[in-house]
Chains A and B, each alone.
Chain A
Amino acid sequence: MRTAFIRSLAELARIDERVFLVVGDLGFSVVEDFAHEFPDRFLNAGVAEQNMTGLAAGLAAEGFHVFTYSIGNFPTLRCLEQVRNDVCAHRLPVTVVAVGAGFSYGNMGYSHHAVGDLAAMRSLPHMTILSPADPREAAACAPALLASGGPGYLRLGKAGEPLLDGSRPIDLLAGPSCLDRGDGDVALCATGPILSEAMRAADLLRARGLRPGVFSCPLIAPIGDATLASLWAYRGVVTIEEHVAAGGFGSLLREHAPPKTRIVSLTADRNLTDLVGSQEFLRTRHGLNAERMVSACIALAEEVR
Chain B
Amino acid sequence: MTTLSFAREIRRRTIGMVSAAGTSHVGGCLSMADIVAVLYGGGIVRHRPTDPHWDKRDRVILSKGHCCASLYAALALRGYFPPEELDTFGQDGSRLMAHVSASVPGVEMSTGSLGHGLPVAAGRALAGRRRGGDQRVFVILSDGELDEGSNWEAILFAGHHRLDNLVTVVDCNGLQSLGRTEDVLSLEPLIDKFLAFRWGVREVDGHDHESLSRELGTLPWEPGRPSCLLARTTKGKGIDFMEDSLAWHYRSPNAEMAARAITQLGEP
* Chain A CB within 10 A, most for which of B112, B118, B119: B119
Bound form: Cα–Cα A59–B111 in Å:
17
Q: B116 contacts A58, CB within 8 Å?
A: no
Bound form: Cα–Cα A48–B153 in Å:
6
Q: B157 contacts A48, CB within 8 Å?
A: yes
Q: B127 contacts A63, CB within 8 Å?
A: yes
Question: Inside 8 A of B153's CB, which chain A residues have their CB?
Answer: 46, 48, 50-51
Picked from B123, B126, B149, the residue with its CB within 8 Å of the CB of A50 is B149
Q: B127 contacts A59, CB within 8 Å?
A: yes
Residues from 40 to 59 in A contacting B, C-beta threshold 8 Å:
40-41, 43, 45-46, 48, 50-51, 53-59
Please give me the residue from chain B that is nearest to A55 by CB atom.
B123
Please give me the residue from chain B that is nearest to A48 by CB atom.
B153
Question: Inside 8 A of B149's CB, which chain A residues have their CB?
Answer: 50
Whole-angstrom distance between the Cβ of B132 and the nearest chain A Cβ: 10
* Chain A CB within 10 A, most for which of B108, B122, B123: B123
B102 at the interface (CB under 8 A from A): yes
Bound form: Cα–Cα A61–B102 in Å:
12
Please give me the residue from chain B that is nearest to A61 by CB atom.
B124
Picked from A46, A48, A55, A90, the residue with its CB within 8 Å of the CB of B109 is A90
As a 0/1 sequence over residues 17 to 31 of chain A, the CB contacts with chain B under 8 angstroms (1 = contact) are: 000000000000000
Q: How many A-B residue pairs have CB under 8 A?
A: 87
Q: A82 contacts B131, CB within 8 Å?
A: no
Please give me the residue from chain B that is nearest to A94 by CB atom.
B123
Size of the A side of the interface (Cβ < 8 Å), in residues, is: 26
Please give me the residue from chain A that is nearest to B115 by CB atom.
A50
Q: A62 contacts B113, CB within 8 Å?
A: no
Whole-angstrom distance between the Cβ of A206 and the nearest chain B Cβ: 52
Bound form: Cα–Cα A89–B115 in Å:
16
Question: Inside 8 A of A62's CB, which chain B residues have their CB?
Answer: 123-124, 127-128, 131
* Chain A CB within 10 A, most for which of B108, B122, B149: B122
B70 at the interface (CB under 8 A from A): no
Bound form: Cα–Cα A53–B112 in Å:
17
A249 at the interface (CB under 8 A from B): no
Picked from B116, B127, B130, B156, the residue with its CB within 8 Å of the CB of A86 is B116
A55-B154 contact given A61-B123, A62-B127, A90-B102, CB 8 Å threshold: yes
Q: How large is the interface on B (under 10, 10 to 19, 20 to 34, 35 or more residues)?
A: 20 to 34
A278 at the interface (CB under 8 A from B): no
Q: B157 contacts A58, CB within 8 Å?
A: no
Residues from 99 to 116 in B contacting A, C-beta threshold 8 Å:
102, 108-113, 115-116
B121 at the interface (CB under 8 A from A): yes
Whole-angstrom distance between the Cβ of B44 and the nearest chain A Cβ: 21
Q: B128 contacts A53, CB within 8 Å?
A: no
Please give me the residue from chain A that is nearest to B101 by CB atom.
A89
B150 at the interface (CB under 8 A from A): yes
Whole-angstrom distance between the Cβ of A79 and the nearest chain B Cβ: 8
A111 at the interface (CB under 8 A from B): no
As a 0/1 sequence over residues 256 to 268 of chain A, the CB contacts with chain B under 8 angstroms (1 = contact) are: 0000000000000
A55-B120 contact given A48-B156, A62-B127, A62-B131, CB 8 Å threshold: yes
Picked from B113, B120, B121, B126, the residue with its CB within 8 Å of the CB of A81 is B113
Q: A54 contacts B120, CB within 8 Å?
A: yes
A64 at the interface (CB under 8 A from B): yes
Q: A51 contacts B154, CB within 8 Å?
A: yes
Bound form: Cα–Cα A50–B154 in Å:
9
Whole-angstrom distance between the Cβ of B138 and the nearest chain A Cβ: 13
Picked from B113, B128, B131, B154, the residue with its CB within 8 Å of the CB of A85 is B113
As a 0/1 sequence over residues 136 to 179 of chain B, the CB contacts with chain A under 8 angstroms (1 = contact) are: 00000000000001100110110000000000000000000000
Whole-angstrom distance between the Cβ of A216 and the nearest chain B Cβ: 35
Q: A40 contacts B130, CB within 8 Å?
A: yes
Picked from B111, B122, B131, the residue with its CB within 8 Å of the CB of A55 is B122
Question: Inside 8 A of A56's CB, which chain B residues have their CB?
Answer: 123
Q: B109 contacts A51, CB within 8 Å?
A: no
Please give me the residue from chain A that is nearest to B61 by CB atom.
A58
Q: B150 contacts A58, CB within 8 Å?
A: no
Bound form: Cα–Cα A55–B110 in Å:
15
Bound form: Cα–Cα A51–B158 in Å:
10
Question: Inside 8 A of B119's CB, which chain A residues have their CB?
Answer: 50-51, 53-55, 57-58, 82, 86
Bound form: Cα–Cα A59–B119 in Å:
10
Q: A58 contacts B113, CB within 8 Å?
A: no
New contact pairs (16) apart from A61-B120, A85-B116, A86-B116, CB-CB < 8 Å: A41-B130, A46-B156, A53-B119, A55-B126, A57-B119, A58-B124, A58-B125, A58-B126, A61-B108, A61-B123, A64-B127, A81-B113, A82-B116, A85-B111, A86-B109, A90-B102
What are 6 sample pairs from A and B whose C-beta atoms fall under 8 A apart? A45-B157, A46-B156, A48-B156, A50-B153, A58-B123, A81-B116
Kindly list the 4 A-B residue pairs having the minimum CB-CB distance in the complex, ordered from nearest. A58-B123, A54-B119, A55-B123, A62-B127
